[in-house]
Amino acid sequence: MKSKKIEAYTMMEVAIAMLLAAVCMSICYTAYSMIGDYFQTFQKRNASAEEVLTMRRTMEKDISKGRYLIRTAEGINIPGDSLNITYKFADSAILRKAEGLRTDSFHVSPVEASFLFEGREALELDTVDQISFKLKMEKQRMIPVTVGKMYSAHDLFN
């Protein structure tokens, strides 16, 4: 009786195939984690940009609806016909408080805030027509923000 030879891979061939598979899996895992890190950084930067834009849009809308901008010790007060809104410039956030409603927090760091009326620094309880400040972002990046209110003679003398 003749012994039949079974065709199979040698141990060396199997070991080389396993080594190549391990190398391919490690390359794929490294690429996957790098792309995940890039995406996480992109999401974080996108979220901070959205926070800045939302804060600016909200502040501009409140200012346009308000009658005056009044300087306070911590920020500005915007009295309106139906709603009184206060913005407080804290170290790590800008807080927006509307009477009878919840307080909104914009998680940005305002620095170098200046409150002006006709180009001069406004004192506490003075009318303000321009607010300028910088937002301190990650990696010491600064974003300048300037919002203003146009008054008519009728607004200022009533």
Count the domains in the chain: 1
The upper half-sphere exposure of residue 33, i.e. CA atoms within 13 Å in the direction of its Cβ, equals 5
Does 41 map to a domain?
A: no
Q: What is the pLDDT of residues 48-80, one digit of tens each?
A: 889 999 999 999 999 988 888 999 999 999 998
pLDDT in tens, 84-94: 999 999 988 99
Residue-range definition of the domain harbouring residue 134? 51-157
DSSP 3-state assignment of 76?
strand
> Given the structure tokens 């899996």, which residue do they identify?
25
Domain contains 45? no
Residue 40 lies in a domain: no
What residues pair up with 104 in beta bridges, in sequence order? 96
Domain assignment present for residue 102? The answer is: yes
Within a domain: residue 111? yes
Calpha distance 79→69 (Å, rounded): 7
Average pLDDT, the chain: 90
Query: How does residue 16 score in pLDDT terms, banded at 50, 70 and 90?
Result: very high
Q: What is the pLDDT of residue 9?
A: 81
Residue 18 lies in a domain: no
pLDDT band at 8 (very low <50, low <70, confident <90, very high): confident
Answer whether residue 13 shows pLDDT above 70: yes
Distance CA 16, CA 57 (A): 61
On whether residue 8 sits in a domain, the answer given is no
Which regions of the chain does DSSP assign to beta strands (E)?
70-71, 75-79, 84-89, 94-98, 103-106, 109-117, 120-121, 130-136, 142-148
